Chain A
């Protein structure tokens, strides 16, 4: 999937992959992060 220039909402998981880590990956793929959060279900 080409993420360059795409607007992305990233929802991370506390015990999985947290939001900031997703953000770093997607930024490097050229995506624009419009909202990043990490949720906790435990």
Chain B
């Protein structure tokens, strides 16, 4: 059927403890309600440094240095002690430190809204020069920075979001309009961080997959942020804004929004565009969610843990025309939560998991691994939300019991065999199905996995426009080889038959004379 293939994946984390403290919505709300909050006073002592974040095993799984199955072998709590080698670069991307991330925000700013201090930029420059994804034109664009006095003046006057490294003010993000709250310093800082992390993920995808940026035809951006102004709050097209900074000059693009389910919807759109022949190479990309930094922080601090939600997550996935090799995104495997599906957990899983497999004549156990909501359990358990991936796997296993595929006693075994530990930060759309796609591609290409189901879910009710839930799913499978190969075979066969007939005719000719 020549379904589209997954040709590459990039995954990036930006460790941003200061942005967490300044801009995470839990902290912002607390500051508004209670400026003398005990939580805010304690919080700074619970922030991790960069080395501690690098040594956090789930993050190493996210950037591809260990597989989720290898992560499951590492005893929890993962945040205690150094249980894995702290490495910055990964098979799919990197974990970028906050000081450098501010430079990425400056790099992708096209309206002179991000200011960094001149002395600070000078300190940073030698490291930036060594970064494999920062080119000389990038260094030129970064410029020489602003004076400390200019930055202090902007921050003190209000209307600029300060950028700190500890107690040191190193820059600011200026508002883009005097009155429009959609262009306030806070919103611009959020969107610039989303854009910067997405650009980084896209550059990694292109570099690691050996893709010429000019061959990307279309970009679908699938973050959760709204970029616009007072007359079109979610005007969008962050896709082109991101592609502009990754050299994708021959691409156009648009955004897809569906809360946390956005990326999986976007992948379906990408695969459809490719299969229909509109485009050959479509990138689905998303940056991180600043607002969600430290979302469950109060419970982490109350339980004496480090604040674990200190990274922005980003990813980029290349969906391309069938090359006969890379794993296929199976167009006949779509699962979807319809408007009339109902919101009970059972109804959701029926719609997303059972129905598509039933349609294909497959059992639930025919899917080697399910990629569900892959939140790191240590981030959600302290706040009472439990181990979200495991809860999802138990629900799928329960469906298998109801369908008499397994015995009730086999549920734990099913969960281990077909599940995996959560290894993505609680960044909403980032953990929703997509974190496993890079691993799945590698495991399928090396013959260790045959089939995986990617499931994205979204909480539409948070916008107070509907009480509906949302979800979408699809299978990724080993490539059976291009179906147009059989077309070539037919031609070859015709030629063979024609040659044989000519030979027969030649042999018959003398007898007729």
Contacts and interface: CB of A to CB of B under 8 A. Distances in A.
Nearest to A36: B467
Contacts of A37: 461
Interface string B454-490: 0001010110000101000000000000000000000
Given A13-B385, A15-B385, A20-B467, A41 B295 contact: yes
Interface residues of A, number: 14
B297 to A, nearest CB: 12
Given A13-B385, A15-B373, A15-B386, A41 B343 contact: no
B388 A15 contact: yes
Contacts of A17: 345
Contacts of A14: 457, 459
B182 interface: no
Contact of A42 (B343, B345, B380): B380
Given A15-B392, A16-B391, A18-B469, A42 B461 contact: no
Given A19-B467, A21-B345, 11 more contacts: A14-B457, A14-B459, A15-B392, A18-B344, A21-B344, A38-B459, A38-B461, A40-B459, A40-B462, A41-B385, A42-B260
A15 B345 CA distance: 8
Contacts of A21: 343-345
Interface in B391-411: 391-392
Given A13-B385, A42-B373, A18 B260 contact: no
Interface in B150-170: none
A31 B128 CA distance: 62
B345 A41 contact: no
B385 A42 contact: yes
B468 to A, nearest CB: 9
Contacts of B326: none
A38 B457 CA distance: 14
Contacts of A19: 461, 467
Among A17, A37, A42, residue most surrounded by chain B Cβ atoms (within 10 Å): A42
B447 to A, nearest CB: 33
Nearest to A21: B344
Interface in B417-438: 426, 428, 431
A35 to B, nearest CB: 13
A15 B462 contact: no
Contacts, number: 46
Contacts of B345: 16-18, 21
Interface of A: 13-21, 37-38, 40-42
B27 interface: no
Place the interface of chain B in its size category: 20 to 34
A10 to B, nearest CB: 12
A8 B10 CA distance: 47
A32 to B, nearest CB: 18
8 contacts: A15-B388, A15-B391, A16-B345, A16-B386, A18-B344, A21-B343, A21-B345, A42-B373
Given A13-B385, A15-B386, A16-B386, A41 B467 contact: no
Q: Which 9 A-B pairs have the closest CB atoms?
A: A40-B459, A41-B385, A21-B344, A15-B388, A14-B459, A42-B375, A20-B343, A42-B426, A18-B343
B87 interface: no
A16 B296 CA distance: 17
B349 to A, nearest CB: 12
A41 B294 CA distance: 11
B66 interface: no
Nearest to A14: B459
A37 B463 CA distance: 12
A28 to B, nearest CB: 13
Interface string B314-353: 0000000000000000000000000000011100000000
Contacts of A40: 459, 462
B28 interface: no
Nearest to A38: B461
Contacts of B380: 41-42
Contacts of B385: 13, 15-16, 41-42
B383 interface: yes
A13 B457 CA distance: 13
A38 B383 CA distance: 15
A15 B330 CA distance: 27
Nearest to A37: B461
Given A14-B459, A21-B345, A42 B431 contact: yes
Contacts of B344: 18, 21
Contacts of A13: 385
